[in-house]
Amino acid sequence: MEKQSFFNYLRKPAFGWASFFLLTWLWAAWWMGDAFRVTREYSFFAFDTVLMHGIWQQSYGLLWIIGRALLTLYRWPVIGGLMVALLLTGGSWLVAYCLRLRPDSRWHFLAFIPAIAWMTWVAWIGLNIYYQAEPGRTLGVLFLGVLVCAIDAFIIWTFKGRRTTPRKVTAPSLIGRAGGESLLLLLFLLPFAITHIRHPYQRPYTQMQVQLMNEDWAGIVKTAQDHAELSYRPLAANYAIALIHTGHLADALFEIRMDYDSLYLQSYSGMGDVGSDLYTIDCDYHAGLFRAATHKAVEHLTMMGPTLFSLKHLTRLALLDYDWELARKYLFVLKRAPFESAFVKRYEPMLGNTGAVEADPVFARLRRTEPMTDSFESQYEAPAFLGYTTSLMAGRSMDALTQSLMACLYSKRMPDFLLRCQPLVGTQPPRSIAEGLVTQSLKEPNILKAFPQLQMNAQVYQGFIRSNESAFKDRPANARRLFEQYKGYYPYYYFFGNLKATRKRDDANTTGWKAGVN
């Protein structure tokens, strides 16, 4: 008897709506929360006609502005998710009303299909919800859908609703209803599955981006290491940034896979894109290459119009340049954006105060790797954070040298690496650098004379070579198998990691072309 009551309860319409609401909230706040949070960062909204003019002039500009306005609530994903869940649930209720899909109808599940279709679309486009795309598009489309349903419902309610007798409903068979509900459940899993299967990098990447915004370096490291098997450039880029700030670049860089699977991304033009814009500005900035970061951030501003992402970067870069008036301008614009007071509060006191700029711990860390002398970005292979760093001849600090050495190791530029190891003679090099040295010790026996303390490392290295002799015959096939055993070990990366880059460099070397840094 009790059991029957429970099932009856489950059949109550309110339970269905509440379940749908909670599940969509879960999806929008937890599963997609970080993705929308980052989308908000790549967006900009203000109640200002000058600032919104560019977006207003675009086709469907008003819709995108509404989408951007809704996106501002994703300052807190729980709140933003709540808004999305309300729109999805309310929209579904309106669909049910317009199509007269009564809760006891076997076709009632159809009311949820548009909402699930929207979720599936959002999942399908992945990071293109903001990457080189209009960030207000997804929520703008959702808003439009709900609005159309609301208008339709209003018309029905006004002209028909009160006079129409309810459509006669034949009670669906148990199988019919169960079929519909099962199908609904399956469809609801679709957006989760698509993100998980088609865009496995999306959730860890957006999580890292949020951690980057919060300067949660340890969090980024943990996220990257929790997903060490995933191998995508944006993940590796954020991981390297976090290691710079935690001081573990030379210890832990190779603890994640770096074979770089393809991202499902489209460029502005709708063509496939490798996604370098996802990390170039951040990497240039955190490598201390402020001019290169400014160059890219301004180009981002040009292409996307103002975004919180570009405005915040440009503010910081202007402060680092002691360009108070320019920083003041960007802060003035950011003040117009809702919920950005924390950023303004942190950086506004630095205006006109060089001491405050230099005292900022992040700025101080980045300053240590800023170039010492001028040169041109185009003198180096792109991207600058690798091309410049691997060519570094004089640095401000040991941090700059470490970055340069690690960039050489990452790029497998061993002659450049060895050249830059001279200042380390007589010291105990950090882990990856020591392993890089022993990787070359068979070719260059003098290395062990200069670094006699690495004898033990050399023996371990020889053991690695011996025990994996067979794996060397087909390195691409064995790379994945050996990763778990050797993750973090530089000789493994040197021989088995990032092989696409290695091949590219080999090709480049044969043609004399100097590009190819991955």
Partner 1 sequence: MKSYVYLILSVIALTGCSPSATIPTSFTETSDSLAIYPDYRDVTIPPNIAPLNFMVTDAAATEYVVTVGDLVCGAGKDGKIDMDSVAWREVLTDAKGKSLSVNVYAHRASGWVHYSPFTLDVAEEEIDPYLSYRLIEPGYELYRQLGIYQRNLTNFTEEPIYENNRTFSNEDNHCINCHNYQAYDTDRMLFHVRAGHGGTIIVHGKEARKIGIKHDSILTSGVYPSWHPTMPLVAFSTNKTGQVFHMYHPEKIEVLDEASDLLLYDAEKNTVRHIFHTKDNMETFPCWAPDGSRLFYCCAKMPASLLGEHTPMDLALRYDSLLYDIYSMPFDAETCTFGEPRLEVDASGIGRSTSVPRVSPDGRYLLYTLGDYGQFHIWHKSSDLYVKALESAPLSGDSEVRPMTGTQEEGIRPLTAANSPDADSYHTWSSNGRWILFVSRRLDHNYSRVFISYFDREGRDHKAFLLPQRDPEYNTLLLKSYNVPELTKRAVQVNIETLKHVIYHTDPDPATYQP
Instruction: Label residue 181 left, alpha or beta by phi (over 0 means left) and psi (-120 to 50 means alpha).
Output: alpha
Measured at the CA of 265, the angle between CA 263 and CA 268, to 5 degrees, comes to: 150
Rounded CA separation 496/184 (Å): 45
User: What are the beta bridge partners of residue 266?
Assistant: 272
Out of 5, 8, 14, 50, the only residue in the binding site for partner 1 (CB under 8 A) is 50
Q: Does 396 bind partner 1 (CB under 8 A)?
A: no
Q: Select the span of 183-191, 229-237, 296-304, 497-505 touching partner 1 (CB under 8 A).
A: 296-304
64-103 residues near partner 1, rule: CB under 8 A:
none
Out of 248, 291, 368, 475, the only residue in the binding site for partner 1 (CB under 8 A) is 291
Closer CB to partner 1, 155 or 303, in the complex: 303
Closer CB to partner 1, 270 or 445, in the complex: 270
DSSP, collapsed to helix, strand or coil, labels residue 368 as coil
Q: Does 294 bind partner 1 (CB under 8 A)?
A: yes
Q: Does 371 bind partner 1 (CB under 8 A)?
A: yes
Output 83-87 pairs: Cβ under 8 A, ≥24 positions apart: 84/24, 84/25, 84/28, 84/29, 84/36, 84/139, 84/142, 85/21, 85/22, 85/24, 85/25, 85/27, 85/28, 85/29, 86/21, 87/142, 87/143, 87/146
Q: Select the span of 135-143, 194-202, 234-242, 373-381 touching partner 1 (CB under 8 A).
A: 373-381
Q: Does 512 bind partner 1 (CB under 8 A)?
A: no
Q: Does 513 bind partner 1 (CB under 8 A)?
A: no
DSSP, collapsed to helix, strand or coil, labels residue 272 as strand
Give the list of residues 6+ apart from residue 275 with CB closer than 8 angstroms, or none: 127, 131, 233, 234, 263, 265
The torsion angles phi and psi of 272, rounded to 5 degrees, stand at: -60, 150
Q: Does 8 bind partner 1 (CB under 8 A)?
A: no
Closer CB to partner 1, 302 or 422, in the complex: 302
Rounded CA separation 364/51 (Å): 32
Out of 373, 422, 470, 510, the only residue in the binding site for partner 1 (CB under 8 A) is 373
Closer CB to partner 1, 56 or 157, in the complex: 56
Q: Does 392 bind partner 1 (CB under 8 A)?
A: no
Closest to 87 (Cα-Cα) out of 123, 129, 35, 140: 140
Q: Select the span of 85-93, 95-103, 190-198, 374-382 touching partner 1 (CB under 8 A).
A: 374-382
- Tokens 């709140």, residue? 79
Q: Does 62 bind partner 1 (CB under 8 A)?
A: yes
Closest to 63 (Cα-Cα) out of 145, 153, 150: 145
Out of 141, 169, 326, 471, the only residue in the binding site for partner 1 (CB under 8 A) is 326
Question: Residue count at the site for partner 1 (CB under 8 A)?
Answer: 47
Closer CB to partner 1, 57 or 165, in the complex: 57
Q: Select the span of 7-15, 109-117, 284-292, 480-488 touching partner 1 (CB under 8 A).
A: 284-292
Out of 158, 167, 168, 325, the only residue in the binding site for partner 1 (CB under 8 A) is 325
> Helical H runs in 412-454?
414-420, 431-439, 446-450
- Closest separation between CB of residue 318 and partner 1, Å? 8
- Closest separation between CB of residue 59 and partner 1, Å? 5
Dihedral sign of CA atoms 379, 383, 385, 387 in order: negative
- Closest separation between CB of residue 432 and partner 1, Å? 26
Q: Select the span of 198-206, 220-228, 242-250, 291-299 touching partner 1 (CB under 8 A).
A: 291-299
Rounded CA separation 290/281 (Å): 9
Out of 336, 365, 475, 504, the only residue in the binding site for partner 1 (CB under 8 A) is 336
Closest to 111 (Cα-Cα) out of 90, 97, 95: 95
Closer CB to partner 1, 224 or 384, in the complex: 384
Structure tokens at 122: 């959002």
- Tokens 């022993």, residue? 438
Closer CB to partner 1, 125 or 221, in the complex: 125
Out of 375, 427, 467, 509, the only residue in the binding site for partner 1 (CB under 8 A) is 375
235-274 residues near partner 1, rule: CB under 8 A:
268-270
CA distances from 179 to 3, 173, 176, 266 (A): 21, 10, 5, 37
Q: How far is CA 466 from the centre of its chain?
A: 39
Closer CB to partner 1, 164 or 375, in the complex: 375
Out of 4, 5, 8, 59, the only residue in the binding site for partner 1 (CB under 8 A) is 59
- Closest separation between CB of residue 233 and partner 1, Å? 22
Rounded CA separation 379/427 (Å): 32
- Closest separation between CB of residue 510 and partner 1, Å? 22
Note the residues at the interface with partner 1 (CB under 8 A). Answer: 47-51, 54, 56-59, 61-62, 268-270, 289, 291-292, 294-295, 298-299, 301-303, 305-306, 323, 325-326, 328-329, 332-333, 336, 370-379, 384, 388
